């Protein structure tokens, strides 16, 4: 790719996260094609993508399709599907990729890159996403906090040049993006944050700020975090110091955020809780680490998920 030329970008999974980052790239001038459910993509084709950001409100002209073949000419694919759709989406996407196409996993959880590789032999690049964003209606995205990325390479993954090229692409679109030297720790830190906030936000119908300010839920968050840290350490993950403090501090910049789990419950959709607290519980059981608080939150969200399913 020429230095000043925009690469062609496809977004596999045009939900809130995919539309936000795809929309920001398109707003900056990149050729972007969103791939998602027909109801959503048809509205985008008709009206454009309305992005209500912290910093602007704008109708963005952007291509959209419900056909995965729309990714066939992409230089970069942002892989933004829900974690439970990872394998199927990777298998459907694979035949439409060129050998040189870079695939970036912008998903919750810590094992998506391995699952993508196992399912479709795609060497994806892991990314950690920090953004508070929601779909208010088809083709309408509301951004309420942060909007930055961390990318990195796992063993036998992307080279440093590819990572710096991708980071520069996002920075050019006013999306802060840093290249990590320990992406595994960053993925785990983000998952632990999700474990602490997502279930409580869904069960308590609460935004992040009140969850941290409440002494009882703050205590639960601390217990969830300490259990997850113990599992990570048992798994050999080198976490940084101060993870508990980082978890609680997130609400400073995302006080008005509502978790994706809460949004899924509100829409009667399946949640990603199995890849968050559920993952910690399963891995903890294999490693002999007790995770009773994570297990409780996982079980309660699964019950709520069943009762609200449409």
User: What confidence tens digit (pLDDT) does each residue in 154-186 have?
Assistant: 655 557 788 999 999 999 999 999 999 999 999
Residue 3 has pLDDT above 80, yes or no: no
2/198: higher pLDDT: 198
Alpha carbon distance 135, 149 (integer Å):
20
For residue 154, the model assigns a pLDDT of: 64
For residue 128, the model assigns a pLDDT of: 98
For residue 155, the model assigns a pLDDT of: 55
DSSP-derived letter for residue 77 is: E
Mean pLDDT of 197-202: 98
Residue 2 has pLDDT above 50, yes or no: no
For residue 227, the model assigns a pLDDT of: 98
Res. 119 pLDDT band, cuts 50 70 90: very high
Alpha carbon distance 52, 100 (integer Å):
34
For residue 161, the model assigns a pLDDT of: 81
The CATH number of domain 184-308, selected from 1.10.1040.10, 2.40.50.140, 1.10.10.10, 1.10.3290.10: 1.10.1040.10
Backbone angles phi, psi at 65, to 5 degrees: -155, 155
The answer to whether residues 68 and 12 touch, using CB atoms and an 8 Å cutoff, is: yes
As given in the structure block, the two tokens for residue 48 are 């454009």
Domain boundaries, the chain: 9-181, 184-308
Provide, rounded to the nearest whole percent, the portion of the chain with pLDDT above 70: 97
Place of tokens 């942002």: 78
Alpha carbon distance 255, 209 (integer Å):
4
For residue 45, the model assigns a pLDDT of: 96
Q: Which of 103-117, 150-164, 231-245, 255-269 has the lowest mean pLDDT?
A: 150-164
Res. 38 pLDDT band, cuts 50 70 90: very high
Length of the chain: 310
Residue 212 has pLDDT above 90, yes or no: yes
Mean pLDDT of 270-290: 98
Res. 1 pLDDT band, cuts 50 70 90: very low
Three-class secondary structure of residue 50 per DSSP:
strand
Residue 47 has pLDDT above 60, yes or no: yes
For residue 136, the model assigns a pLDDT of: 87
Bridge partner list, 149 = 129, 177
Provide CATH code, domain 9-181.
3.40.50.720
* Residues 6 or more apart whose Cβ sits within 8 Å of residue 298: 199, 273, 274, 276, 277, 278, 281
Q: What is the pTM of this model?
A: 0.94
What torsion, rounded to 10 degrees, do the Cα atoms 110, 111, 116, 118 define? 170
Single out the catalytic residue among 82, 190, 249, 309.
190
Mean pLDDT of 78-105: 97
Q: Based on the residue annotation, tell me whether 190 is a catalytic residue of this protein.
A: yes
Provide, rounded to the nearest whole percent, the portion of the chain with pLDDT above 90: 93
For residue 100, the model assigns a pLDDT of: 94
């Amino acid at each position: 790719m020429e230095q000043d030329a925009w690469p062609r970008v496809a977004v596999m999974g045009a939900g809130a996260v995919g539309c936000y980052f795809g929309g920001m790239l398109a707003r900056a001038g990149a050729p972007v094609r969103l791939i998602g459910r027909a109801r959503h993509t048809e509205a985008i084709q008709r009206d454009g993508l309305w992005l209500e950001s912290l910093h602007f409100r704008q109708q963005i002209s952007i291509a959209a399709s419900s056909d995965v073949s729309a990714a066939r000419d992409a230089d970069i694919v942002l892989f933004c599907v829900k974690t439970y759709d990872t394998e199927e989406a990777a298998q459907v996407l694979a035949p439409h990729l060129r050998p040189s196409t870079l695939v970036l996993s912008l998903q919750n959880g810590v094992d998506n890159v391995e699952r993508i590789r196992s399912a479709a032999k795609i060497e994806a690049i892991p990314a950690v996403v920090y953004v508070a964003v929601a779909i208010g209606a088809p083709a309408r995205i509301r951004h309420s906090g942060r909007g930055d990325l961390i990318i990195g390479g796992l063993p036998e993954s992307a080279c440093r040049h590819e990572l710096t090229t991708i980071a520069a692409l996002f920075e050019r679109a006013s999306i802060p993006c840093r290249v990590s030297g320990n992406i595994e720790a960053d993925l785990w830190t983000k998952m632990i944050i999700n474990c602490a906030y997502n279930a409580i936000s869904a069960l308590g119908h609460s935004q992040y700020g009140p969850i941290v300010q409440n002494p009882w839920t703050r205590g639960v968050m601390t217990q969830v975090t300490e259990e997850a840290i113990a599992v990570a350490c048992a798994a050999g993950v080198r976490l940084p110091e101060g993870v508990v403090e980082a978890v609680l501090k997130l609400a400073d910049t995302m006080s008005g955020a509502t978790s994706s789990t809460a949004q899924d419950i509100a829409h009667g959709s399946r949640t990603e809780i199995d890849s968050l607290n559920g993952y910690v519980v399963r891995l903890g059981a294999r490693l002999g680490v007790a995770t009773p608080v994570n297990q409780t939150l996982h079980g309660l969200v699964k019950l709520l998920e069943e009762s609200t399913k449409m």
